[in-house]
């Protein structure tokens, strides 16, 4: 949806698919793109029961 800057960093504005409610604010965790991909892969394995 978007992002907002604040003194302590950056907030991401997110809305779940299929909802019309107000967006939620989530603090940018500062994770590098490669780390995001690694985490995504790990979560996929967990959800599939491969671990």
b/e string for 19-38 if b means 16 or more Cβ within 10 A? eeeeeeeeeeeeeeeeeeee
For every one of its 51 residues, what pLDDT tens digit does the chain have, with 9 covering 90 and above?
Answer: 788 888 888 999 999 888 888 889 999 988 999 999 999 999 999 999 865
Q: Are 25 and 11 in contact (CB under 8 A)?
A: yes
Q: Give how many domains the chain has, as a whole number.
A: 1
> What distances in angstroms separate CA 48 from CA 37, 39, 41, 42, 44, one per listed residue?
17, 14, 11, 10, 6
Domain range for 36 is: 2-48
Q: Pick the closest to residue 20 from 39, 35, 1 (CA basis).
A: 1
pTM, full prediction: 0.52
């Amino acid at each position: 949806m978007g992002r907002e800057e604040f003194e302590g960093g950056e907030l991401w504005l997110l809305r779940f698919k299929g909802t019309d409610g107000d967006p939620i604010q989530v603090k940018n965790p500062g994770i590098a793109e490669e780390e995001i991909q690694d985490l995504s892969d790990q979560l996929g394995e967990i959800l599939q029961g491969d671990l």
